Amino acid sequence: MAESIIIEIRAGAGGEEAAMFAEDLYSMYSKYANAQNWKQMVLDSSPTEIGGIKQIIFEIRGEGVLAKLKNEGGVHRVQRVPKTEKSNRIHTSTASVAVLEKPAESEININPSDLKFDFFKASGAGGQNVNKRQTAIRITHIPSGLIVASQVERGLEENRRAAMLILQARLFEQQKNAATSKLSQERNLQIGTGDRSEKIRTYNFPQDRITDHRIEKSWHNIEKIMNGKLDKITDFLTENLKN
């Protein structure tokens, strides 16, 4: 049975290199989704001037998607020489990943009167306007204080639907954890602060190794994995990491 998840990736510690790593993670998951014949759609994105992303939120829909990707949530750390590094020094940067289950419509009831809508011009890297019309949207859920936005380069109605998908997923996560946190505790634990110490996985390019620290398991051939060949990692985590 097809199901949907929403993945949020945010650049953490490390400046532009962290933003480049966030883009690399998005590309990895996107290529993996294509290989699985899953559908995907970007809901919100904030690119940087040199090709990285400050954050990206996207939906993946397909059979078994939650089981295969639910263990990706957490802080991911990269160790490599950035493309912009001239002295060949290895940098350590991070990006955070949150995996949110998309609720069925019957599971989340949003009162339209609880929503505040703001409209603005979508912007691209460096603040350059990519759309002169106010097609981007920001939605505030007044009871919870949650604020979501979508400013992908498309029409207002498509961005409104995308923002509502993000809001529904976050409210569902919040609802599941309402007894312990105003905001989604699970999402906050996954996101963390982006600090280098809060890592679940390290991508060490000089040593051609990816290590998942929750189970102390490593895999080699990092370029192949970053190109979407995630099966060995996702299958192993599904089998050995009990949530």
pLDDT digits (tens, 9 = 90+) for 94-125: 999 999 988 877 778 899 999 999 998 876 55
3-state class (DSSP) for residue 59: strand
* Residue-level pLDDT at 104: 78
Runs of H (alpha helix) within 64-152 = 65-69
Domain boundaries 106-176, corresponding CATH code: 3.30.160.20
SS3 helix, strand, coil % of the chain, rounded to 5? 35, 35, 35
What does the domain layout of the chain look like in residue ranges? 2-104+184-240, 106-176
Domain boundaries 2-104+184-240, corresponding CATH code: 3.30.70.1660
Task: Give the chain's radius of gyration (CA, Å).
Answer: 18
Average pLDDT, the chain: 86
* Residue-level pLDDT at 192: 62
pLDDT digits (tens, 9 = 90+) for 176-203: 766 445 445 556 666 665 555 568 999 9
